[in-house]
């Protein structure tokens, strides 16, 4: 089994009194947060910032302290079984227009309830719920 680690960010922005979360449509069909594989020598924060810039063009991110959630899953890629860990942070942006890269098919900003329906995998829904709980205490 091949071990992989990715890092990403649950990105949100405020619109009027609402918090909107950013989801990307991955080419394999799922809707998920911004993330990508770690490169040699990077910290998880550095990977998350780099992938956010590459995949969305967003650079004005402000991290929310005390949020770091890890999920794990297995999948097949080119005949190999991959065990992947993904670390997610939480951060705010003021950017509304997203410039998605060739690695994704679409993006959407959604409030918590609609994002919970749109997010494909249960482990990502758990991350989203933890983000929402922290934000509803902090904001
Ligand atoms: N192992 C590999 N080695 C080298 N290059 C690779 C590679 N895998 C993909 N690539 C290529 O590298 C590029 C992406 O690089 P990155 O952008 O760096 O990678 P990533 O977002 O972390 O993941 P990726 O999009 O690959 O897959 P994901 O885990 O979401 O989704 C992967 C599978 O897991 C499933 N999945 C995703 N999230 C899940 C979750 N939360 N729970 C359970 N299953 C999940 C998906 O349905 C899908 O089947 C792609 O262009 C791709 O062609």
Query: What residue ranges do the domains of the chain occupy?
Result: 2-138
Give pLDDT tens digits for 47-85: 999 999 999 999 999 999 999 999 999 999 999 999 999
Helix (H) or strand (E) holding 131: helix 122-138
According to CATH, what is the number of the domain 2-138? 3.90.79.10
Task: Give pTM, 2 decimals.
Answer: 0.94
Give pLDDT tens digits for 83-138: 999 999 999 999 999 999 999 999 999 999 999 999 999 999 999 999 999 999 87
* Ligand 1 nearest atom to the CA of residue 80, by list position: 1
The Å distance, Cα 14 to ligand 1 centre, comes to 29
Q: Per-residue DSSP letters for 44-112?
A: HHHHHHHHHHHHH-----EEPTT--EEEEEEEEETTEEEEEEEEEEEEE----S----TT-SEEEEE-H
Protein residue with its CA nearest to atom 43 in ligand 1: 73
């Amino acid at each position: 089994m091949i071990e992989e680690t990715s890092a990403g960010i649950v990105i949100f922005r405020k619109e009027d009194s609402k918090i909107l979360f950013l989801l990307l449509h991955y080419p394999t069909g799922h809707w998920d947060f911004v993330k990508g594989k770690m490169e040699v020598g990077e910290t998880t924060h550095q990977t998350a910032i780099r992938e956010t810039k590459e995949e969305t063009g967003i650079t004005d991110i402000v991290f929310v302290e005390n949020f770091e959630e890890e999920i794990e899953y297995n999948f097949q890629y080119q005949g190999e079984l991959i065990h992947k860990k993904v670390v997610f942070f939480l951060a705010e942006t003021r950017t509304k227009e997203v410039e998605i890269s060739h690695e994704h098919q679409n993006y959407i900003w959604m409030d918590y309830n609609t994002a919970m329906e749109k997010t494909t995998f249960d482990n990502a829904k758990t991350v989203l719920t933890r983000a929402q709980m922290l934000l509803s205490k902090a904001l």
